[in-house]
Homo-oligomer: A and B are copies of this chain.
């Protein structure tokens, strides 16, 4: 039986979905994309149909090899183990730990606090809340990167940390965070956005990107 093409459930603007789109692009895995609009109809992720697919009611979700996975880093780790080239984790365990530390800092320490579902409950304070969460996380990140970075987050190879960095910077820009205090983050982000895999997976170039936001 030929293996079926993976299906990615994605929203153009979801930073967690973008992380997975970058991994799929870097590893040259072709896939079908099913857009899930997190705003329309009160959020299509809450439909009974999507809940049956992913009880967490979030994107991304990836149907692959007969299973459905969710949580962006779990998906990326699965892709890393099943499609090891190009690798997204360095060989040295200490450098791998640095990559994971940076990725987890973004994925657990910054993004969840400025997630759509949290912001909804913040009312008027929404913008200020998001700015504070991101700025506070970026202050720590900037310091860490000064020890770990080469061209990218850890040395000169693109890693899982970079897959988390660019989408988080995009969120920061959306929430008008002053990026002045974060020259290392800004430099790395610029280098990443020059890479083809980051370009084709960009929120401005998705099938569900509204016309007015298209690149």
| Residues of A within 8 A of B (CB-CB), count | 38
Partner of A112, one of B55, B94, B103, B109: B109
* Docked complex: A121-155 residues within 8 A CB-CB of B: 139-140, 143-144
From A21-29, A74-82, A200-208, give the one contacting chain B: A74-82
What residues of chain B lie closer than 8 Å to A96, measured between beta carbons? 77-78, 81
Say if the beta carbon of A48 comes within 8 Å of chain B.
Answer: no
What residues of chain B lie closer than 8 Å to A70, measured between beta carbons? 101, 105
What residues of chain B lie closer than 8 Å to A55, measured between beta carbons? 139-140, 143-144
- A57–B136 Cα distance when bound, in Å, is 10
Copies of this chain in its oligomeric complex:
2
Q: A70's closest neighbor in chain B, by CB?
A: B101
Q: Would you call the interface of chain A mostly helix, strand, loop, or mixed?
A: helix
Say if the beta carbon of A215 comes within 8 Å of chain B.
Answer: no
Partner of A74, one of B69, B101, B113: B101
Name the residue among A58, A72, A105, A111 with the largest chain B CB count within 10 angstroms.
A105
What residues of chain B lie closer than 8 Å to A97, measured between beta carbons? 67, 69, 74-75, 77-78
- A70–B71 Cα distance when bound, in Å, is 20
What residues of chain B lie closer than 8 Å to A82, measured between beta carbons? 93
- A94–B81 Cα distance when bound, in Å, is 10
- A169–B65 Cα distance when bound, in Å, is 32
Contact A65 B78 (CB under 8 A): no
Q: Smallest Cβ distance from A44 to chain B, in angstroms?
A: 17
Say if the beta carbon of A87 comes within 8 Å of chain B.
Answer: no
7 pairs from A and B in contact (CB 8 Å cutoff): A55-B140, A67-B97, A71-B100, A73-B108, A77-B100, A109-B112, A112-B113
